[in-house]
Structures are given as structure tokens and as C-alpha cells.
Structure 1
């Protein structure tokens, strides 16, 4: 990295921290700190909701996902607009009418304290883990690529977030997220246009799409009911909708964003704005990844984008190094043939294009086999090294292909995304801890000043815990999948509890409490034995808790009737 990149990177991050601290210091009371004084307008809510979900993982993993697997991942988000409409019509009016700080307060008024506490604890567990991952994700990748110390990066990102989140609470999170989303959009659009600029002169955007389509990267919708496939139109519409309903409707990190709205209408408009901008945003991020794929059809790419694999080869035996070098030579030859054929495809007559496409597909198959063989060799040398390189594709492109200054801006995009998500999570974790656990179980009433201080202390405590989780985490196959898997394990159960609370009035507290505990155990077992794709866990958990609650209530009725 050049000095200019460091200047752009650190000046951007310092601006966010200082601006957030300065604009929101000195909260008056708990309402001001935890709900931002209910001053947020709809566009602030919409951008804040979007920034909370769009973590660094989104901008690191999603382009790599598209590079390897194409645009089909966008189906994961198809259910978001549907969920936003349902939440705006059902959830928001109830939350605002009850004037709650957290979603889980409502459950006590509907059921009892133990049900409220259980759902709050489930949230604290899954969101506490996720907070650590949102710090860890950019840290481990920047550490591997730039050679920076992983432990130090975790601490730096965590401390930057803690400073303004502890100081300003919800208002600080919302205000800084607007600035962060502006930086994110600027950086991603700049990267996209530079990719198109770097393509050969006679390859325009339409040609690039044709090249991507030839390699199957533009297969967006899959209507096959394939239970083994995580990303189909059905998993998106069903599993994705249930995941979005639970995440945006019951997860405090999101609920807190729209509870800060000036009115029900502002909150509803903010969620609808997010719902209908979210899919195009994810589509664009995936398209950036597809364009990176097209770029590497004309330019050399490594056998594996994870730089740690190159270090493994350095420590390998002479024969293993020679074998790896042979793979590199084979890859280079295939890439040169692909580049020549790809250029010919753009200039060929229609009747010749089919032949060129067939040849390109064959060469792509050879390239995939070469990379697989190289990965197997790396795994043989060091089984601990992660050979799945989806999370490293985009950062490799940024550091090796983009001009000075823009590299710093794109790194700032990644870190801003990490900070925005982490800030929301710490804010929500502290709110839930104070309101649902600490304050609710106080025997003697305390002052507003006491709970304001407690909120800041718990924000700090969760920040420290998130840093500790980040420092002890291990890289998963794909970071964006890891976050969604953690959510899917818990979200379906919690959503089922809320749906019963809203719509099934005859089910009482004891039945739903026992059903929730049993369901959580069942879902964890189902996930552990990989019985179904993780997206379906959202529907499964929701259905199981509702069915069990009905069964337990019926049993209670017959037992009482028999007695």
C-alpha cells in the first residue's frame, strides 16, 4: 500500500469516529441514549437498517461468492421486501403502541417474564457471537493480505466502534451509519467503473455480460425444488422471508433502528425503503464480483487467492514445490488460451460463437480441475490452511489492480461496514441487557442516570467481549454463510414465539416457554447433523415451536379436563 492509501484509509475512519462522538455526546436520559430521542427520519432509519445488515462480510465475501458461483446468491434476499411489508403492517404498530425499548418487552405483556428473558438470552447469545465475527471477518483477511497483526486489528476495529457507540448510543450509531453508507456506495461504484475501464478496448459492458453468461455466472433464478441447494427461488421466498421476518422483526439490533423513528409512519417508510433498495444493492455487489471474474478472463490470477497458501508452498519439500509450480504453468497456459478465445468470441459471427463458447467452457473446466489439484496439494502439506478463497478474491483485486488512493478508499469501505454493523450490535446487546435483564430484575427502583450509566457500561462490556470472540475465532468456509447460519439456528424459534404472541391468543406462557426450549435443542441437533440446508432452519424452527406449543397447550387442557 502507498502512503496515499494510508492517508485516505485512516482519515476516513477518524472522521467517522470523531463525527459520531462530537454530534451525539452528552445523552440526557435512557430514552435519548437507547432510542435516540425518537428523532430519526425515514431515510436515516432505512440507511441505518441497511448498514446494520451490510457488514464487512457483505463486501468481502459476496463478490467472491459471485466470482465462484455467479449471481444465484441474490435469491437469498428475494424474501426481504415481503418481510418488510409484513413487519411494517404488524410489528411496528404494536411496538410503537406499547412504547417498548426492546422487542422482548412485548413478550412479557403477552406471556410472562420467563418467556421474555428466554428470547432475550437467545438474542444475546447469537448476536454476541455475530458481533465478534463482524470484527473478525475484515481483520483476518486484512491481516493475511497486508501482513498486519490480526490481534492488533481486532482491537483497533473494536476500540474505534466502542468510542462513539459508548458515547452517543443509538443516535451515534444512526448518524455515523449514514456517513458510512455514503462511503460504501462511493467505493463500490468506483471499483465497478474501474473494472470496466480495465477490460480490453473492444470489450464493453454488454460483451462482459455475454462472457459472464457463457460461464454460467448470470444464472440468477433457479426454480428447481432442490433441497440440497441453498440458493433457489424457493429457499429465498420461503427460508429467506422467514429469516428476514425474524431478523428485522425480532432481532434487537434491527428493531432498535426503527424504534428510534419519529412516528410509526417514519419507521414504516424506513423499512420499506430498505426492503426495496436491499435487493438491488446486493445484486450490484454480486455484479461487481462477476465483473472481477470477467477481468480475470483477460488477466492472470493466482492458483488460490488466499496469500497464506503461498506461504505454505515456501515451506514445502522440493518435490511439492515443483508440483505446485507445474500447476501454475498449466494454469497460465489455460488462462492465455481463454483470454485469446474470449476476445475472439466478442468479434465472431453468430454461427462461430457456439464453437468458441464450447471451447471456453472446456477450458474453464480444466482451470477448475487445476485449482482443485493445487488445493489438494496445499491441504496435504498443511491441513490447517483454508483453501476456500471466496473471501479473498475481491481484496486481492483491490490491492493488486486498483490505483493508489482508491485502494485506501475500498479498505475504508470494508472497515466502515465492519464498524457500522458492530456498532448496531453493541448498541442492541447493551439495550437488551439493561432493559430485559438488568432493569427488569431490580427489586428497588433506580434513577434514570443510573440506567444511563449502566447502558454505557454494558456497551463497553459487550464491546470487549466482541473483541475477545474475534481474537479467538477461526475462519469458516465462507464468512457470509457463517453469519447467516448462526442467525438461522436461533431466528426461526424466536419468530415462532412472536407469531404466536401476535396471532394465537389461546396459547399461554408455560406451553410456549417449554416449546421454545425443546425447539432450540431440536434445531441445533438438525443443524449439527446437516439434515437440511441452513436457510430452511428458519422455517423448520418456526414451524416446530408453533406445533409444539399447540400440542403442549392441548395436553394441558386434556389433563385439566381429566382431573
Structure 2
């Protein structure tokens, strides 16, 4: 990286941290620290909600996901706009009327303390794990790309977030996320424009889209139904709906964003703003990944995208094997060039016969190329056993580091750091809020004054930050980072959502019944995760429905004794 890239990177990060500290310093009580004095406008809420979702994993993994699997991941978000409407109509007015600090306070009013505590603990477990992954994911890739020590990178990200989150609480998280969102989307759009500009002169933007489509990457909507298929219209519109209802309606990292609104109307508009723009935002990020795929049809891609790991192999006895496989990979790419150019010409001439012939040839070459890549991964694993060989998450950042001009590299790295800081800040703030309000204040220190709870909130913010950093330093990569976060959420969200839906809509079911039902539902979801091949999005439906069904059954069995 050039000096200007470093200036852009640290200048952007420094501005965000200082801005967050200066604009929000001096919270006098827990209301200002945890609810931001209810001063947020709808556009701040909307951008904050979007930025909370848009972790570094989004910008690292999503383009790689599209590179390998096409656009179909966008279906994951199809249920989100419906969820935004439901939450705006039903959930927000209740939370405002009760003047709650966290979503789980409502559960004690409706049921009892143990149900509130159970829901809070489920949230703390899943969000605590997710916070570690949120830090770890960009850190392991950035440390590899920049040559930094992994643990040092994790600590830098974690400490930067802790500083301004502890200083200003919810308001600091929300106001800094506006700047972070501008950096994130601005940087990604510029990267997308650059990818298209780097295509050969004879390949127009329209040609690139058509070539991507003929190579199976523009698979935006799939109406086929398959329980084991993670991404299709039906899993997105149902499982995605339940996941979004859980995330935005019961996850404190999101609830805190709109509880800080000036009014019910501001909070509703903020959520609807998110519902309107989230799918286009994910579409753009996925589309950039598809364009990177098209770019690499005309430019030699690496046989293994994690260059730092590959360089370690060169220093071992496995170097000759790796170079031999890379030569095979390059030879296959050279064979593919003629076919790709033939496909492009056929697309431009709308010659379906030639298109079909080129597709068949490309499929054969791609199969051979994939086989070589798998052999490369085997060699890398043998040479450097502790290296993660799935390189999907390195695809986009590898392109950035190799092809983008001076300054833009620093900006794209700032995008990844900003996204990591943004989502982690929301998580730490939510973890601290839930710990203080739902656990510490309710069950351990009931009579403290406002200053005591403010201090406790800041200390728990630091404590959860340390926990997240520690977990990040001991974590290992999942198969795909963006899937990892959603899998963790899906394991817990369905049960939590079931508890809340019972609380909102099924007055017949009381505290004892819903508590036992939630424990059973969570056990069922954990069984499904460990012993079945059911796609993870369905866990949200299974957990939620199980809570409701078992709640009705148990209430009938427990009868009048449980009607309180």
C-alpha cells in the first residue's frame, strides 16, 4: 500500500472515532446513554439500522458469495420489507408506550421474570458470539492482506469501537453510523464502477450482464421449493420474514436504534426506510461480486485468492506442487479465453446456438478449473495446516489490493474497518444495555442510583468488548462468514421471536407455559442444526412455531394453576 492509502485509511477511521466522542460525550444518566435522549431523526435511525446490519462481513463475503454462487443470496432479504411493516404497525407503539430501555422488559410485564431473563440470555449468547465473529472476520483477512499480526488487528478494531461506544452510548453508535454508511456505500459503488471500467473495450456493461447471466450468475429469483436449499424465493419470503421479525423486533442491537427516535413516527419512518433500501443495497453489493466474476473471465484469476497464505507455501517443500498446479490453472484459463470471447460474440449477435455451444464448453473447463483449485487448497492445507483454505472471503479484497488505484485501496480498507466498527458498536451497546437493564438491575442491584447504572453500562460495554476481542482471538473461520453470522442468529432468533409473538398476540398463554415451550423449542432447533440438513433459514420458522404450538399445549395441560 502507498502512503496515500494509509492516510486515507487512518484519516477516515480517526475522523469517525473523534466525531463520535465529541458529538456525544457527557451522557448524564442511563436514559441518555441507552436511549440517546430520544433525539434521533428518522434518517439517522434508518441509516443506523442499515449500518448495524452492514458488518464488514457484508463487504468481504457478499461479493465472494456472488462470485461463486451468483445473485441468489439476495432472496435471503425478500421477507424484510414485510417484517418492517409488521414491526412498525404492532411492535414500535407498544415499546414506546411502555417506555422500555430493552425489548425484554416488555416480557416481564406480559409474563414473568424468568421468561424475560431467558429471552435476554438467549440474546446475550447469540449476540456475544456474533460480536466476536464480527471483529474476527475482517481482522483475519486484513491482517493477512496488510501483513499485520492477527491479534493486533483484532485489538485495534475492538479498542477503537470500545472508545466511542463507551463514551457516548446509543447516540454515539447512531451518529457515527451515518458517516460509516456514507463511507461504506460510497467506497463500494466506486469499486463497482472501476470493475466495469476494467473490462475489455469490446465488452459493454450490457454485454457483461448478459455474459454473467449465461454463466449462471444472474440467478436473482428461484421459485423452486427445496427444504435443503438455503436461498430460494420461498425460504427468503418465509424464513427471511421470520428472521427479520426476530432481528428487528427482538434483537436489542436493532431495537436500540429505533427506541432512540424522537417519536413513534420517526422510528416507523426509519424502519420503513431500511425496508425500502436494504434489498437494493444488497443487490448492488452482490452485483459488484458478479462483475468481479466477469472481470476474471477476461483476466487471469489467482488459483488461490489468499495471497499471504500462498506465499507461505512457497517457502515450504510444497512449493513445486503449488507452482505446477498454478501452471495448470493458467493453462485452463488460456483455453477458456477463446470460449469466453466466443460467448461474448454470440451474446452480442444473439446467436442462441453459439451461446449454448459456448456454455457447454465453459462448463467443462470450469469443472476442470475447480478441480485444480481444490487440489491447490489441499496443498496449501498440507503445507500450512493452520490456514483456512476456503478463500471465498478473500476474492473481493484480493481484487481491491491488486487492481484498484492509489487512494481507492485505502478507501476500500476504510470501508471494511468502518463496517466492522459500525456493527460491533451496535452489538456492544446492545449487550451492555441488556446486561444492565434485564440482568444486573433487575436481579442483582435493584436500588442503585442513575449514576451507578450509567457507570455500570459503561463498564459492561468495556467488558463485552473484551469478551468479543477474546472470542475473536480464539475463533476459527466458518465456511462462509456472512452465512456464519446468519446461522448463529437463526439458531436463537426463532425461539425469541416465538416468545414475543405469544406475548403480543396469544393472551391465553401465560408465563409458565411459554417458558417451558421456549426451552423445548430451542432444543428442537439445536437438534435440527446438529442432526439434519434443513437449511438454516427454516430454523427461524421451526423455533417460532414450536414456541407457539407447545405454548398452547402446555397451557392446556397446566390449566388454571398456570394462569398468571
Q: Give the structure-1-normalised TM-score.
A: 0.96
Find the counterpart in structure 1 of residue 488 from structure 2. Answer: 486
Q: Corresponding residue for 1:457? A: 459
| Distance (Å, rounded) in 1 between the aligned partners of 2:238 and 2:261 | 29
Correspondence 1:51 to 2:71: no
Alpha-carbon separation, structure 1, partners of 2:444 and 2:356: 73
Contact residue 513 and residue 562 of structure 2 kept, 8 A:
no
CA deviation after TM superposition for structure 1 residue 276, in Å? 1.1
The answer to whether 1:7 aligns with 2:7 is yes
Q: Is residue 80–residue 275 contact of structure 1 (8 Å, CA) maintained in 2? A: yes
For residue 316 of structure 1, what is the aligned residue in structure 2? 317
Q: Please state how far the C-alpha of 1:368 moved relative to its aligned partner.
A: 2.4
Kindly report which structure 2 residues correspond to 1:74-153, keeping only aligned pairs within 5 A, or say none: 74-153=74-153
- The separation in 1 between residues aligned to 2:303 and 2:385, in whole angstroms, is 17
Match of 2:402 in 1: 400
Report what 2:538 is aligned to.
536
Q: How far off is 1:171 after superposition?
A: 0.6
Change (3 A) 1:347 1:531: closer
1:496-534 CA deviation, whole Å, 9 max, x = no partner?
A: 000000111111111111111222222112211234111
| Deviation string, structure 1 residues 258-301 (Cα, Å, up to 9, x no partner) | 00001111100100000110000000000000000011111011
The count of aligned residue pairs is 561
SS at match of 1:27: coil
Q: What is the Cα deviation at residue 314 of structure 1?
A: 3.8
User: Could you tell me how far 1:46 is from its partner in structure 2?
Assistant: 0.5
In 1, the alpha carbon distance for the partners of 2:288 and 2:319 equals 39
Which ranges of structure 2 fall in alignment gaps of 5 or more residues?
none
Q: Note the 1:266-281 alignment, pairs <5 A.
A: 266-281=266-281
| Mean CA deviation greater in 302-311 or 197-206 | 302-311
Cα drift, residue 346 of structure 1: 5.2
In 1, the alpha carbon distance for the partners of 2:109 and 2:319 equals 70
C-alpha distance in 1 between matches for 2:25 and 2:561: 58
Of stretches 288-297 and 508-517 in structure 1, the one that deviates more from structure 2 is: 508-517
Alpha-carbon distance change, 318 to 384 in structure 1, aligned in 2, over 3 angstroms: closer
Do the aligned residues in 1 keep the contact of 2:318 with 2:379 (CA within 8 Å)?
A: no
- TM-score for both structures, normalised by structure 2: 0.96
Is the contact made by 1:334 and 1:366 (CA closer than 8 Å) also made in structure 2?
no
Residue equivalent to 2:31? 31
Give, in whole Å, the separation in 2 of the partners of 1:318 and 1:147.
20
Which whole-Å CA distance do the structure 1 matches of 2:547 and 2:394 have between them? Answer: 39
Q: CA deviation at 1:339?
A: 4.8
- Cα distance in 1 for residues equivalent to 2:537 and 2:431: 24
Contact 1:56 1:416 in 2 (8 A): yes
Aligned 1:365-514 pairs, distance under 5 A: 365-381=367-383, 384-442=386-444, 445-514=447-516
Contact 2:339 2:358 in 1 (8 A): no
Distance 1:395 1:319, change over 3 A: closer
How far off its partner does 1:107 sit?
0.2
Distance across 1 between alignment mates of 2:214 and 2:277:
28
Alpha-carbon distance in 1 for matches of 2:98, 2:522: 28
Q: 1:309, 1:387 within 8 Å by CA — same for their partners in 2?
A: no
1:361 is displaced (CA, Å) by 3.4
The 1-side partners of 2:264 and 2:391 are apart by 44
Write out aligned runs for 1:235-250 (5 A).
Answer: 235-250=235-250
Contact 1:297 1:338 in 2 (8 A): no
49-58 vs 349-358, which deviates more?
349-358
Residue 70 of structure 2 corresponds to which residue in structure 1? 70
- For the structure 1 residues 171 and 542, does the alpha-carbon distance in structure 2 shift closer, same or farther, using more than 3 Å as the test? same
Structure 1 distance, partners of 2:320, 2:20, is: 55
What is the distance in 2 between the residues matched to 1:321 and 1:28? 60
How many angstroms does 1:143 deviate by?
1.3
Could you report, residue by residue, the CA deviation over 1:67-89 in whole angstroms, capped at 9, with x for unpaired residues?
00000000000010011011001
CA RMSD in angstroms comes to 1.8
The unaligned stretches of length 5 or more in structure 1 are none
The corresponding residue for 1:334 is: 335
CA distance in 1, matches of 2:453, 2:327: 65
C-alpha distance in 1 between matches for 2:348 and 2:89: 53
Q: How far does residue 219 in structure 1 lie from its aligned partner after superposition?
A: 1.2
1:221 partnered with 2:221: yes
